[in-house]
Amino acid sequence: MYRFSRAIYRELAGDIVEDDVRLGDATNHERVLRSCEAAVERLATDRHYFARPARTLFNDIRVYFPVCVQHRVWTVVDRYMAFADEYFQRQPLRGFDINGNPLECRATTRKGTPCQRMPLPHNGYCPSHQHLAETEELQVPAGAHAGVRDFELAA
């Protein structure tokens, strides 16, 4: 799992701005590395609720780079996070996540506790909660299509 975060760090380490004043114990290099590791770990363990991992990581680390290399930082982060996402999606689910924790259904029970049944690999819900996966795909903001139809009618 850390091969992706370390690869991002290695490729960008030469462009990190050096610290003028130490704020706390961490240097800018350590902050960038920790941010990369946290983003990749979250992608591995919480893919369903991590909508834009590359954008999140870029926003976390961009302050440690000069403006002239921001585009390069974005392309490196985007490329490696896409590789990591593809890798994690190809991993077979054998009842445990990437850290060895048992997998649980993404739904909650009527009492508000997490469902503890084994989820299906394609969507993260157990057979009892498959209806929730179907409603996720259908949810569209209320007025999202209205503007498009108005535009099409006017044209």
- Using one digit for the tens of pLDDT, what is the confidence trace for 10-24? 999 999 998 766 666
Q: Are residues 44 and 85 in the same domain?
A: yes
Q: How far apart are CA 118 and CA 97, in angstroms?
A: 11
Does residue 98 form part of some domain? no
150 contact partners, CB below 8 Å, separation of at least 6: none
Q: How many domains does the chain have?
A: 2
Q: Are residues 109 and 143 in the same domain?
A: yes
Which residues form the domain of 29?
A: 2-90
Where is mean pLDDT largest: 57-66, 84-93, 103-112, 121-130? 57-66
Torsion angle of C-alpha atoms 124, 125, 130, 134, degrees rounded to 10: -40
Contact assessment for residue 123 and residue 103, using Cβ atoms and an 8 Å cutoff: no
Q: Are residues 86 and 125 in the same domain?
A: no
Q: Are residues 49 and 23 in the same domain?
A: yes
Q: Are residues 40 and 83 in the same domain?
A: yes
In which element (H, E) is residue 5 found?
Answer: helix 2-12
Does residue 96 form part of some domain? no
| Amino acid 92: pLDDT | 63
pLDDT in tens, 41-85: 888 877 777 889 999 999 999 999 999 999 999 999 999 999 998
Q: Where are the alpha helices (DSSP H) in the chain?
A: 2-12, 28-45, 53-61, 70-90, 130-138, 146-154
Q: How far apart are CA 108 and CA 29, in angstroms?
A: 40
Backbone angles phi, psi at 114, to 5 degrees: -65, 140
Does residue 95 form part of some domain? no
| Amino acid 88: pLDDT | 81
Q: Among residues of the chain, what percentage have pLDDT more than 70?
A: 72
Quote the pTM value. 0.64
| Amino acid 108: pLDDT | 78
Asked if pLDDT for residue 109 goes beyond 50, the answer is: yes
Q: Are residues 81 and 122 in the same domain?
A: no
Q: Are residues 14 and 83 in the same domain?
A: yes
- What count of other Cβ atoms lies within 10 Å of the Cβ of residue 34? 15
Q: Among residues of the chain, what percentage have pLDDT more than 90?
A: 38
Contact assessment for residue 66 and residue 39, using Cβ atoms and an 8 Å cutoff: no
Asked if pLDDT for residue 152 goes beyond 50, the answer is: no
Where is mean pLDDT largest: 5-9, 118-122, 136-140? 5-9
Q: Are residues 133 and 60 in the same domain?
A: no
Q: How far apart are CA 83 and CA 73, in angstroms?
A: 16
Q: Are residues 66 and 139 in the same domain?
A: no
Q: Are residues 53 and 114 in the same domain?
A: no
Does residue 99 form part of some domain? no
Asked if pLDDT for residue 116 goes beyond 90, the answer is: no
Q: How far apart are CA 153 and CA 30, in angstroms?
A: 55
Q: Are residues 112 and 83 in the same domain?
A: no
Q: Are residues 9 and 85 in the same domain?
A: yes
Domain boundary among 51, 68, 90: 90
The DSSP bridge partners found for residue 102 are 96
Does residue 145 form part of some domain? yes
